[in-house]
Amino acid sequence: MPPASLPERVGRYEVKRLLGQGAMGRVLLAHDPLLDREVAIKMLRADLDIGPEVRDALLTRMRHEARAVARVSHPNIVELHDMIDDTEAGVCLVFEYVPGRTLKDRIASGPVPPIEVARIAREIGNALSVAHRAGVLHRDVKPENIMLAEFGAKIADFGIARVPDSTLTRAGGLLGTPAYSAPESISGGTFNAATDQFSLAATLYEAVAGMRAFPGDDAIEVAARIGTQEPQPIASTVGLDAKVDQVLGRGLSKNPARRFAACEAFGEALAAALEIGTLQDATRTLVDAAELAKPPRPKPHWSSVGLGGVALGAIASMVVVSLMRPSAPSALEILSARQLAPSAPTAPVRTAAPRATAKPDAGVAIDAAAEASAAVEADAGSATEAGVGVRDASASDAHAWPAVAP
């Protein structure tokens, strides 16, 4: 059962409770019994202190906007399901119900992380440009009209136009605070794609900084600041690249011609500027994480290294010495060497003592010749035995031959 101040039903929809209300309208949560789903119904407030002509103008604009927004389909635009022209409540717009909090609620907790603002800028900027190409203006872009849904941001409240010229009054003041209105909207009642871009820039400025681009408690004071002052630079304060200030400043320009050609272009430029520092931080974080994930290098044990070096040096020396050492000579080489070398002196041939006469003794000569022949045969046998002995020695003891110095 809804509160007594709320209707029980609007058309076929069963009212459950009040979701929220603003300066001009209120949003009700209701149930659609036909399709068995929750919906959000937006209607003008019953207590608005406005004349019948102004009310009729607002209702007519709501009808026009509802027909226009029904032609727009975008995942980041809250879908319009139905429009009801009730005799008591007037024109009511039935939207899809998006559970979650608004960007205004999120900002109340502090500045929004730049990477999240970048995503919102791309999504809402693209959604507004799609609507503009379909001939639909929003006229009321502000943090409370951006829903932070589970799968992305959604712009809500298409079809509720801001009051022309911002001249409607209630209790002696402007109807609502024009904190996000473009200068030309406040002064001349102009609404177009460029004014929606100004409102989006003011909204995202507040999301990044956690404060309004044009602060103030009085609507007239805020309107004067929008028309005469530039927003305070915030990039250095929140640790972002200076291009963030440049993009926001262009979107908040007093001159509509200096703003971006479309909301989509503004959203892409702001997102790119916001991501400059965040992507670098993310890259550094990934590099640091990769370094920490590497297994530690084993520290060298210097004693083991020293012993290994000594062993390698010893092996290398042995190889060099072995290569420089001549191989053992064969028996044939020894025999050839002995034949070429001068003969060793043999035992002197005994001769008879000289006699008075010089005649040779024939028997003595024959004996000398026989002894000489026997000596030659003995030498040959000795050489053969010597060769065999050298070969055996070289086979059994390689170190029998001294190394030859280079």
Residues designated catalytic: 140
List the one residue out of 198, 178, 241, 206 whose CA is nearest residue 117: 206
Tokens, residue 163: 């009051």
Cβ-proximal residues to 4 (8 Å cutoff; 6+ apart), any chain = none
Question: DSSP assignment, residue 253?
Answer: -
Place of tokens 């065999």: 388
Q: What interhelical angle do 243-251 and 263-293 show, nearest 10?
A: 160
Torsion sign across C-alpha atoms 96, 97, 99, 101:
positive
Q: Edge-to-edge strand order for the sheet containing 101-102?
A: 101-102, 146-149, 152-155
Cβ-proximal residues to 157 (8 Å cutoff; 6+ apart), any chain = 42, 78, 138, 140, 145
**Separation between Cα atoms, residue 190 and residue 192, nearest integer Å:** 7
**Separation between Cα atoms, residue 368 and residue 363, nearest integer Å:** 9
List the one residue out of 51, 207, 27 whose CA is nearest residue 115: 207
Tokens, residue 387: 């060769």
List the one residue out of 155, 140, 147, 143 whose CA is nearest residue 101: 147
Q: What are residue 268's phi and psi, to 5 degrees?
A: -65, -40
Does residue 93 sit in helix, strand or coil?
Answer: strand
Question: DSSP assignment, residue 157?
Answer: -
Place of tokens 């022949």: 373
List the one residue out of 75, 98, 105 whose CA is nearest residue 29: 98
